[in-house]
A and B are shown apart, each in its own frame.
Chain A
Amino acid sequence: MKDKLLNLCQDLPVDYAEVRVQESSSTSIHYAGRELEDIGERTERGGCVRVLKDGGWGFATFNDLDDLRKYARLAVKQAELVGGTKFDIARVGPFQATYATKVAADPAAVSLRDKQRMCERYNRIILGGKRIQTSTVAYRDSRSKTFYANSGGTCIEQDYVFCGAMVSAIAVEGANIQHAYESVGDLRGFDQVTAMDGDCEDVVRRAVESLDAKPVEAGTYTVILDPKLCGVFVHEAFGHLSESDFVYENPRLREIMAIGRRFGPDFLNITDDGSLEGEAGFIAFDSEGVPSTRNPLIKDGVLTGRLHNRETAAKMGERVTGNARAISYHHPPIVRMTNTFMEPCEESFEQMLQETDEGVYAVGMLGGQTNMEMFTFSPEEAYRIRSGKIAEKLRDVVLTGNVFQTLQSIDRIGSDFKMHGGLGGCGKGGQSPLRVGDGGPHCRIRNVVIGGR
């Protein structure tokens, strides 16, 4: 296989060529209430060719692997049609490597019956909860093997094993419907999902408590984020802006995103690190055959780096970072985050809370979105803070911020730290979900707008 792919890339009349062939299989289990709506295995096999010629990119993806050359010729034809000004991309390598996820417990070695029994056990705990109407228990593991080769002579085989689960409870009282969930997912193997009984009890408690929670009042608040939400905040508030495909051909944004510009207080440090083995966003090599690295994005409050693919790195005169990622053979690689986190400081959560007279404590993660200027992020649950203490529970809390202002409003960073992956992931350019890790400590932000009644 390797030689075939390498020869194909090196034979094409282009400036650069790469090919990926992926074989994957996944097992899913999905309980919705009492129904086992899905259980079983799916397999995929497909490939893609991507070429650069005279400044234009051509890309072809296919399941029909019998005639790779046909699709390679199509990609070349497309690149020729794009044309434009010839440019070079960052040349690193060639690399010859084989990577395989090392897990203590390989999900492939666990029988479907054992996986089903585990999910059934979780489902029973949730459905046994008082005032609980229905549940969701989802389990997924996947093994994906990707062969990669490029015209520079790089040839890599990567084998990843992802495993995760999600449990959720829905409590209902008349028209009042409340939902709570917990999810785990990363490259650490089956052991991660076997002890979620406590999480099941927790989502029951949280869903039921939310029935009696009050909707938040619209306004501007001081907000303390827990580590999980801090991770999402970092991802939305800054991570996406550091993806240089938004920046490299945008002259004004390049000025604004100049290395050395201050984005936050001098105790703020934000990093993206694809080399953290086991974390959800770990990659040995990215989808352009570049090894992953640790990339400081903000150091002491100042912009110090950004995330690149081969093209953006060359065009901005910076080093490659290993952040060109594609969710599958269906898509070309684009600049993405891996594991993105705020680094911890000194303050304890208790101290931070004590020093907060009025505010909101936001916990866990429901989601987030950004348009590079403004962003939203929402917690799983939230509480009012009054006189330095956690007070009544709130619901329907969604927070918003401004990429260029909100990081400046961080005034406390905690000493704890947590990374989180999960069954979901990040979406960009029609590619979703991409497995990523987000993390951070507790942190406090001033003047955060929350929508409400």
Chain B
Amino acid sequence: MKKTEDAADPILHEAQRRFEAAEVYEEGGESASVGFEDNRLKEITAHQFRGVGLRVIHKGRIGFASTTDLRDPSRLVEMAAASAEFGDRAQFQLPSQPPQLAEIQTYDKRIERVTAKQMVDMGREGLEMSKAADAGYLYSCGVWRSTHTQRIQNSRGLDAARSSTSMGASVSVQEVSDSGLLQVYEFKDWGRRLDSVTDLARTVLDKMKQAAAVVPGRLEAMPMVFTPKAASILFGPVGIALNGKHVHKGSSVLRGRIGEQVLDERITVTDDPAVPFAPGTCATDDEGTPTRKQHFFDKGVLKTFLTDLQTAALLKTEPSGHGFRGYGSRPSPSSTNVIIEPGDVSYDDMVRGMKRGLIIDQTLGSGQSNVLAGEFSVNVELGFVVEDGRIVGRVKDCMVAGNVYEVLKHVEAIGSEAQWLGSRCVPPIMVGGLKLAAKG
């Protein structure tokens, strides 16, 4: 270990000597996870990694190379030089050390001390709940914890190191019958220590009960509620269109529309890099640009795009602080924590208010459509039919399709309870005008 501890220094030193500009991005981490499958503790795994990415500007051109093999730093420098021979013209300058950065919270020391035994016990607690609910259920669960460090150094004197922790869990329960197979899952991931999976297990088991009856689907238009879990169907394509690279190339439907009312005026979408312990929290992006809270959509009006240094220069704007990467790739525009502002209708009232409708919770096949245009067409993996304000069962073998910009232009209601899923915080959203496709 001691040999690789300061792996970045000789790399930066040599690269600085040879090129106009150089940047070393060093990343490492340790994680552990326990896995239950089909009612049995199956495996415990440990993961250690460390890698380095080197970006250079040579004769005005960008070069990049990466490795996890730190025995020979000059090989990495050679690879970056070979890359720079062909690379695009650098339109940007690497940033120097930023002034005082905002205080942010990303590290919970308690996570370092979580033992595999404690994670096993957490998983077991969920298993007991599943067995108590129905001995025929098959329970699977993963619990993980990780620590992550990164350091960016460049030839303009920037040296920014940061570390973060995360801990998360997923619970899924399956029931197999002659007529088919039902599977419900929930997950969470956060920067602070997780003490239990019981709330995930409870949600999953409640949904298993609600899904017990199968209601035949038919071809019909009806109001639909997307739960936070399913809302990525609607917001995923919008995230792609906000990417400055697509804007620059003209393949984003949002190009040239800053200031325009694109979504329903009740929809406000904020990128907030300072939420304590959220998965996307950081003081600078992975190029050293300070991050800041900003609106993507303010009351439905498009405000900004996501850019890294090069993309911002191509678009002739200031970098938005969204250049993110792993050691093995160049920076690319990506969001921090995306928060969709909750509305004023409780989820229960939303359901109670439906004469006949569908709650979509899990889908299959997202991303297999024309996402650039905002199209989606998904199988409703877990969808509850509501009649007269009550859930009567689930549908099977049905599809729902539409365009996210049409759907989000006029929503019926936005729920008051937002939920964090990964780095996105989303409320339930009720929309009209979509058609369920089913046999018969």
Interface residues of B in 34-73 (CB under 8 A from A): 37-51, 63-69
**Nearest CB to that of B314 among chain A residues?**
A35
For the side of the interface on A, what is the size category?
Answer: 35 or more
For the side of the interface on B, what is the size category?
Answer: 35 or more
Report the minimal beta-carbon distance from B323 to chain A, rounded to whole angstroms.
13
A56: interface (CB < 8 Å): yes
Decide: A252 and B176 in contact? CB cutoff 8 A: yes
Contacts A133-B251, A256-B178, A447-B439 given: A178-B370 contact, CB under 8 Å?
A: yes
A449: interface (CB < 8 Å): yes
A259: interface (CB < 8 Å): no
Contacts A177-B370, A367-B365 given: A79-B437 contact, CB under 8 Å?
A: no
A59 partner residues in chain B, CB cutoff 8 A? 43-46
Interface residues of A in 405-435 (CB under 8 A from B): none
Decide: B44 and A368 in contact? CB cutoff 8 A: no
Q: Which listed segment binds A: B77-85, B95-103, B292-300, B343-351?
A: B77-85
A452 partner residues in chain B, CB cutoff 8 A? 377, 399, 401, 435, 437
Report the minimal beta-carbon distance from B314 to chain A, rounded to whole angstroms.
8
Decide: A40 and B364 in contact? CB cutoff 8 A: no
B192: interface (CB < 8 Å): no
Decide: A43 and B180 in contact? CB cutoff 8 A: no
Decide: A64 and B4 in contact? CB cutoff 8 A: yes
Contacts A63-B50, A400-B397 given: A376-B365 contact, CB under 8 Å?
A: yes
A332 partner residues in chain B, CB cutoff 8 A? 43, 45
Contact with A along B1-34 (1 / 0, CB 8 A): 1011000000000000000000000000000000
Contacts A78-B46, A400-B379, A400-B397 given: A134-B249 contact, CB under 8 Å?
A: yes
Select which of A37, A42, A74, A373 is within 8 A of B181 by beta carbon.
A373
Decide: B117 and A81 in contact? CB cutoff 8 A: yes
Q: Which listed segment binds B: A168-176, A282-290, A345-353, A354-362?
A: A168-176
B253 partner residues in chain A, CB cutoff 8 A? 175, 177
**Nearest CB to that of B75 among chain A residues?**
A43
Decide: B45 and A56 in contact? CB cutoff 8 A: no
Contact with A along B368-407 (1 / 0, CB 8 A): 1110110101110100000000000000111111100100
Decide: A373 and B440 in contact? CB cutoff 8 A: no
A230: interface (CB < 8 Å): no
In Å, the complex CA distance between A63 and B437 comes to 49
**Nearest CB to that of A452 among chain B residues?**
B401
B83 partner residues in chain A, CB cutoff 8 A? 39-41
Select which of A39, A57, A451 is within 8 A of B378 by beta carbon.
A451
Contacts A39-B83, A368-B368, A449-B397 given: A82-B180 contact, CB under 8 Å?
A: no
**Nearest CB to that of B34 among chain A residues?**
A82
Report the minimal beta-carbon distance from B6 to chain A, rounded to whole angstroms.
15
A45: interface (CB < 8 Å): yes
Contacts A40-B65, A219-B219 given: A451-B377 contact, CB under 8 Å?
A: yes
B276 partner residues in chain A, CB cutoff 8 A? none
Decide: B49 and A249 in contact? CB cutoff 8 A: no
Contact with B along A367-394 (1 / 0, CB 8 A): 1111111111110000000000000000
B245: interface (CB < 8 Å): yes
In Å, the complex CA distance between A105 and B38 comes to 47
Decide: A41 and B437 in contact? CB cutoff 8 A: no
Decide: A82 and B44 in contact? CB cutoff 8 A: yes
In Å, the complex CA distance between A372 and B45 comes to 26
B143: interface (CB < 8 Å): no
**Nearest CB to that of A375 among chain B residues?**
B364
Question: In the complex, which of the residues A46, A177, A220, A368 has the most CB atoms of chain B within 10 Å of its own CB atom?
Answer: A177
A56 partner residues in chain B, CB cutoff 8 A? 41-44
In Å, the complex CA distance between A36 and B84 comes to 11
Report the minimal beta-carbon distance from B420 to chain A, rounded to whole angstroms.
20
Report the minimal beta-carbon distance from A68 to chain B, rounded to whole angstroms.
12
Question: In the complex, which of the residues A41, A67, A250 has the most CB atoms of chain B within 10 Å of its own CB atom?
Answer: A41
A398: interface (CB < 8 Å): yes
Contacts A218-B435, A250-B176, A374-B396 given: A170-B372 contact, CB under 8 Å?
A: yes
Decide: B49 and A46 in contact? CB cutoff 8 A: yes
Contacts A60-B45, A373-B181, A376-B364 given: A176-B377 contact, CB under 8 Å?
A: no
A58: interface (CB < 8 Å): yes
Contacts A42-B66, A368-B368 given: A398-B399 contact, CB under 8 Å?
A: yes
In Å, the complex CA distance between A81 and B119 comes to 11
In Å, the complex CA distance between A377 and B368 comes to 8
B116 partner residues in chain A, CB cutoff 8 A? 78, 81
Decide: B79 and A82 in contact? CB cutoff 8 A: no
Decide: A453 and B402 in contact? CB cutoff 8 A: yes
B88: interface (CB < 8 Å): yes
Decide: B372 and A40 in contact? CB cutoff 8 A: no
A130: interface (CB < 8 Å): no
In Å, the complex CA distance between A35 and B48 comes to 35
A170 partner residues in chain B, CB cutoff 8 A? 249, 251, 372
Decide: B367 and A367 in contact? CB cutoff 8 A: yes
A23: interface (CB < 8 Å): yes
A366: interface (CB < 8 Å): yes
Contacts A41-B65, A252-B176 given: A369-B41 contact, CB under 8 Å?
A: no
B87: interface (CB < 8 Å): yes
B183 partner residues in chain A, CB cutoff 8 A? 371-373
Decide: A374 and B397 in contact? CB cutoff 8 A: yes
Contact with B along A43-79 (1 / 0, CB 8 A): 1111000000000111111111011000100110011
Decide: A38 and B64 in contact? CB cutoff 8 A: yes
Report the minimal beta-carbon distance from A270 to chain B, rounded to whole angstroms.
20
B328: interface (CB < 8 Å): yes
In Å, the complex CA distance between A35 and B332 comes to 13
Interface residues of A in 1-52 (CB under 8 A from B): 23, 32-33, 35-46
Contact with A along B240-254 (1 / 0, CB 8 A): 000001001111010
Select which of A38, A67, A396, A404 is within 8 A of B180 by beta carbon.
A404
In Å, the complex CA distance between A404 and B396 comes to 13
**Nearest CB to that of B217 among chain A residues?**
A449
Report the minimal beta-carbon distance from B316 to chain A, rounded to whole angstroms.
15
A84: interface (CB < 8 Å): yes
A144: interface (CB < 8 Å): no
B151 partner residues in chain A, CB cutoff 8 A? none
**Nearest CB to that of B176 among chain A residues?**
A252
Contact with B along A217-252 (1 / 0, CB 8 A): 011100000000000000000000000000001101
A75 partner residues in chain B, CB cutoff 8 A? 46
A192 partner residues in chain B, CB cutoff 8 A? none
Decide: A369 and B43 in contact? CB cutoff 8 A: no
In Å, the complex CA distance between A107 and B3 comes to 33
Decide: B41 and A74 in contact? CB cutoff 8 A: no
Decide: B401 and A176 in contact? CB cutoff 8 A: no
Question: In the complex, which of the residues B367, B368, B369, B398 has the most CB atoms of chain A within 10 Å of its own CB atom?
Answer: B368
In Å, the complex CA distance between A67 and B48 comes to 12
Select which of B42, B64, B251 is within 8 A of A57 by beta carbon.
B42
30 A-B pairs within 8 Å (CB atoms) are namely A33-B250, A39-B87, A40-B64, A40-B79, A40-B87, A42-B67, A42-B328, A43-B79, A61-B49, A64-B4, A74-B46, A134-B250, A177-B372, A178-B373, A179-B372, A218-B399, A218-B436, A219-B437, A249-B38, A252-B176, A372-B181, A373-B182, A375-B364, A376-B379, A397-B377, A404-B180, A451-B400, A452-B401, A452-B435, A453-B435
New A-B pairs, 7, CB < 8 Å, besides A82-B41, A371-B381: A35-B249, A41-B65, A61-B49, A113-B86, A134-B251, A372-B183, A452-B437
Which residue numbers of B lie inside 8 Å of A, CB to CB? 1, 3-4, 37-51, 63-69, 75-76, 79-80, 82-83, 85-88, 116-117, 120, 136, 138, 174, 176-178, 180-183, 219, 245, 248-251, 253, 314, 328-330, 364-365, 367-370, 372-373, 375, 377-379, 381, 396-402, 405, 435-440
Q: Which 8 A-B pairs have the closest CB atoms?
A: A451-B399, A40-B83, A376-B365, A451-B401, A218-B437, A78-B44, A398-B377, A45-B69
